[in-house]
Structure 1
Amino acid sequence: MGLLASIFTWWNGATIGTALHTRRHGGKVGEDQWGNVYFEAKKPDPVFGTHRRWVIYKGANDASRVPPEWHSWLHHQAADVPDKALPPARAWQKEPVPNLTGTAQAYRPPGALEAGGVRPASTGDYEAWSPDQA
């Protein structure tokens, strides 16, 4: 990303302020399969006593792009990084999927305008309620 983009954009990677803060106060802890990089503060927070944790996304800043195991680490639900704290993945577990809203892969139910806009015919078993009949 160019220098001007890092100064003026926040939605794609880290801003220059975040990069400077990370360099000065944070240490790299790990990286996930999508290239997101995770950091932890060198000193604990004086109020809470825990080390602040954050992520610098590779690409668009979207919280749904953080895998579940790293999400638990970010929120202090796991004491150590996922490679050390969690057991290996089970055969039946699926890979996490980022939020697909607004993309061509987003879910579109039958009858949605984006899916052709043809709604199923009504069955005729609906009877409208009227306050006079009650």
Structure 2
Amino acid sequence: MGIFGKIFTWWDGATIGTHWWSKRVGGEHVGTDAEGNKYYRSKGKDGPNTGSYTQKERRWVIYNGINDASRVPSEWHGWLHGAFDDVPESNLPPAKIWEADYTPNATGSADAYLPKGALERGGKRAATDGDYEAWAPEG
């Protein structure tokens, strides 16, 4: 995406302001996941309160492609929300044989799950015993 797209879009990657803040001003790159998403943090002010509050550490992600929160792996989700302080890459257990690879959220796409009877599949549902009768007003 070019510079024009970065100025006016927020749903694909990050805006220019977020890139600028992440790379130049206050962001410390702490890691990248298997999807290519980059994780940053900015340290809060250390020591006693300076003013009415002490700024906390902020953590954020810059997505590699479209912004979709389901693309953040669980270990990085925990780090983003402050469940633990260490970067997940430093203390991840080896992958288990039953763990599945990431699959994107298909809602609203051609690959979305459509159960039997869905309007997009023709809207025909299987008849059941004691099938219902549609209500009709008397009159």
Q: Please tell me the TM-score bracket, short chain as reference.
A: 0.7 to 0.9
The corresponding residue for 1:14 is 14
Match of 1:74 among 75, 80, 85: 80
Deviation of 1:95 (Å): 2.2
Unaligned runs of 5+ residues in structure 2 are 135-139
Q: Percent identity?
A: 55
Match of 1:55 among 61, 71, 77: 61
Deviation of 1:85 (Å): 2.6
Please identify runs of 4+ aligned residues in structure 1 that moved more than 6 A.
none
Unaligned runs of 5+ residues in structure 1 are 129-134
Contact 1:68 1:96 (8 Å CA) reproduced: no
The corresponding residue for 2:126 is 120
The aligned length equals: 127
Q: Summarize the Cα distance change of 1:104–1:68 in structure 2 as closer, same or farther, 3 Å threshold.
A: same
Q: For the aligned residues, what is the CA RMSD?
A: 2.2
TM-score (structure 1 length as normaliser):
0.83
